[in-house]
């Protein structure tokens, strides 16, 4: 009997232990417990800086929604799909050999709708917004900015009759009124706008702002208020202390229109163009980046047979980008020639490079553009051969000697003192006078531009618009990107001759030493 009780007790104990094990196992494997364990483990990992630096986790972005589509198989991103959709949409209805272009395919339309937050506005709507901006702007322009009969019209409130107003209206895309649509909020447009900031060398260094009107006015402090030594006022009838006015000026920034053309051979068939979409976007981005750099460096609106710093002995074509406005080189070579120094055909010396800073001191208004508090505000930019020659000077510290913790700007090759030195192909080789000749063989001499980036401002007016045009006679399709931007150069006098924030050392030999 006792043996039976012992076996029963043993069986009960074994059963209880098994139940306890199962219960414990169930608790260990429950969803809540597993979630807790994973959370604790991940918290530990995310606190490991080395782990976080090497590992990136998916964010559930729209790119993941492309998985399984033919666009993903071709390696297209959300921006690529938006670009392709915009391209196909702009091509809808154009004549082909076998009918008309259908626009985006059903698959492309469905994919675009599921991944993109962009929306289309009619060209008429976009133009109406621009016209309203112009209408809102003109009543705020001081009468002193109008000239001749325009001033009397402006004084009477008849801004729409002034020549300035009519020119602003004509600057809009009136020839495309009522045709097509403009894609607003597309990621690829934003990336194209970001290209100058990511790929450019000079343009990214200049502060920018979005222009809400075709013309913007930026206030500029002319001089600082003087600190006065005054006696203590003790009497009840003491006189007021003397006052000092702080002078100011305004810099006008006008948004100018620019376009980029790309040619595509053959008909714009969706499947045939898919492999080339990343290439087309990349080329457009490089173009925007390069010409944005060139605009701010080389701008010169002199459109004549002689005198343009980019084509001194010939009349530049009316569509040359640098004709839009005057830039940094122009400030020293033309506007304020005291800030341009001749290297007399020899290689630049350390003394000449350092001496450029003293040209940028405005002692009248106590503004030292050449020796800023932040050394990163003062930038040297040379054409590539000149930059390499300067880097050979014993006093110059080249980028490879900065050390692993140093921050290096895009295109930076060395430092002259504490200031960065950038090589940019946007800076041209020139003749001895620092200007470019129409005869390429005459342009053999180097040039270095020094500027304080706080003395300039870039304004963006219009987002990039992409359009296409079929050219059946050539069996080609033309892609057109258009945008608007402007450059402001600060001058305390209100005249370009007062610009002190730039200097140029020209006529430098680039021959190997």
- CB count in 10 Å sphere of residue 416: 24
In a structure prediction context, what are the per-residue pLDDT tens digits for the chain, which is 513 residues long? 445 556 667 667 777 776 766 666 666 666 677 677 777 777 666 666 655 555 544 444 445 667 677 888 778 888 888 888 877 877 777 777 777 878 888 888 888 888 776 555 555 655 666 666 666 666 766 676 677 787 888 787 877 788 777 766 655 543 333 334 444 445 555 566 566 667 788 988 998 887 777 788 777 655 666 677 777 776 666 666 566 555 556 677 888 888 888 777 666 566 777 777 788 778 888 888 899 999 999 999 999 999 999 999 999 999 999 999 999 999 999 999 999 999 999 999 999 999 999 999 999 888 899 999 999 999 999 999 999 999 999 999 888 777 765 667 778 999 999 999 999 999 999 999 999 999 999 999 999 999 999 999 988 776 667 677 777 777 777 778 888 889 999 988 888 999 999 999 999 999 876
Angle, vertex CA 185, rays to CA 180 and CA 190, nearest 5: 110
What beta strand segments (E) does 57-126 contain? 95-96, 99-100, 119-122
Angle, vertex CA 117, rays to CA 114 and CA 121, nearest 5: 115
Give dist(CA 310, CA 301) in Å, integer.
10
- pTM (global) more than 0.75: no
Q: What is the pLDDT of residue 58?
A: 46
The DSSP annotation for 342-402 comes to E-TTSPP-HHHHHHGGGGGEETTTTEETTS-SSGGGEEEEE-HHHHHHHTTSTTPEEGGGS
Nearest to 497 by CA among 288, 365, 339: 339
* Secondary structure class of 444 (helix, strand, coil): coil
Q: What is the pLDDT of residue 303?
A: 95
- Pairing mode, strands 208-210 and 446-452: unpaired
What 364-367 contacts at long range (C-beta under 8 Å, 24+ apart), as own/partner pairs, is 364/223, 365/222, 365/223, 365/224, 365/492, 366/223, 366/224, 367/223, 367/492, 367/500
Query: What are the residue boundaries of the structural domains of the chain, listed by start?
Result: 62-215, 272-508
Q: Which residues contact 339 (CB under 8 A, 6 or more apart)?
A: 331, 332, 359, 360, 499, 500, 502, 503, 504
Give dist(CA 373, CA 419) in Å, integer.
11
* Secondary structure class of 410 (helix, strand, coil): coil
29, two tokens: 């494997």
- For residue 358, the number of C-alpha atoms closer than 13 Å in the C-beta half-sphere is 6
**Which phi and psi angles does 281 have, rounded to 5°?**
-65, -40
What distance lies between CA 413 and its chain's CA centroid?
21
Give dist(CA 293, CA 234) in Å, integer.
60
């Amino acid at each position: 009997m006792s043996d039976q009780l012992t076996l029963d007790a043993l069986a009960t104990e074994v059963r209880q232990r098994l139940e306890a094990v199962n219960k414990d196992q169930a608790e260990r494997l429950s969803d809540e417990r597993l979630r807790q364990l994973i959370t604790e483990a991940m918290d530990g990992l995310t606190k490991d800086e080395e782990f976080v630096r090497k590992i990136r986790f998916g964010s559930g972005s729209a790119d993941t929604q492309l998985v399984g589509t033919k666009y993903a198989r071709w390696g297209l991103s959300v921006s690529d799909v938006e670009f392709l959709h915009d391209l196909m949409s702009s091509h809808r209805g154009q004549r082909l050999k076998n009918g008309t272009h259908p626009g985006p395919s059903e698959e492309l339309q469905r994919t675009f709708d599921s991944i993109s937050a962009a929306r289309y506005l009619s060209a008429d709507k976009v133009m109406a917004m621009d016209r309203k901006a112009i209408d809102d702007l003109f009543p705020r322009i001081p009468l002193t900015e109008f000239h001749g009969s325009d001033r009397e019209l402006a004084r009477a409130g008849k801004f729409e009759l002034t020549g300035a107003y009519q020119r602003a209206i004509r600057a809009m895309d009136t020839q495309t009124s009522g045709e097509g649509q403009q894609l607003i909020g597309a990621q690829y447009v934003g990336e194209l706008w970001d290209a100058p900031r990511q790929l450019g060398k000079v343009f990214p260094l200049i502060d920018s702002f979005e222009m809400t009107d075709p013309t913007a006015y930026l206030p500029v402090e002319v001089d600082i208020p003087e600190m006065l030594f005054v006696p203590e006022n003790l009497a009840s009838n003491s006189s007021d202390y003397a006052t000092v006015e702080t002078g100011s000026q305004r810099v006008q920034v006008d948004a100018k229109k620019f376009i980029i053309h790309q040619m595509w051979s053959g008909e714009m068939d969706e499947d045939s163009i898919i492999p080339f979409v990343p290439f087309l976007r990349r080329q457009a981005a490089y173009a925007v980046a390069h010409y944005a750099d060139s605009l701010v460096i080389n701008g010169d609106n002199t459109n004549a047979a002689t005198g343009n710093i980019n084509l001194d002995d010939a009349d530049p074509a009316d569509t040359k980008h640098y004709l839009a406005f005057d830039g940094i080189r122009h400030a020293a070579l033309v506007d304020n020639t005291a800030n341009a120094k001749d290297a007399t055909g020899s290689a630049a010396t350390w003394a000449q490079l350092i001496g450029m800073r003293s040209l940028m001191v405005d002692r009248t208004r106590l503004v030292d553009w050449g020796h800023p508090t932040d050394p990163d505000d003062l930038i040297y930019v040379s054409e590539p051969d000149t930059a390499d020659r300067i880097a050979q000077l014993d006093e110059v510290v080249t980028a490879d000697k900065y050390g692993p913790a140093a921050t290096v700007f895009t295109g930076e090759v060395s430092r002259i003192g504490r200031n960065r030195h950038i090589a940019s192909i946007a800076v041209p080789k020139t003749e001895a006078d620092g200007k470019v000749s129409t005869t390429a063989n005459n342009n053999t001499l180097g040039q270095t531009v020094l500027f304080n980036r706080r003395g300039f401002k870039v304004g963006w007016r219009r987002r990039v618009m992409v359009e296409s045009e079929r050219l059946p006679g050539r069996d080609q399709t033309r892609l057109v990107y258009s945008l608007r931007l402007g450059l402001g150069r600060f001058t305390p006098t209100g005249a370009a001759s007062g610009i002190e924030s730039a200097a140029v050392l020209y006529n430098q030999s680039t021959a190997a030493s």
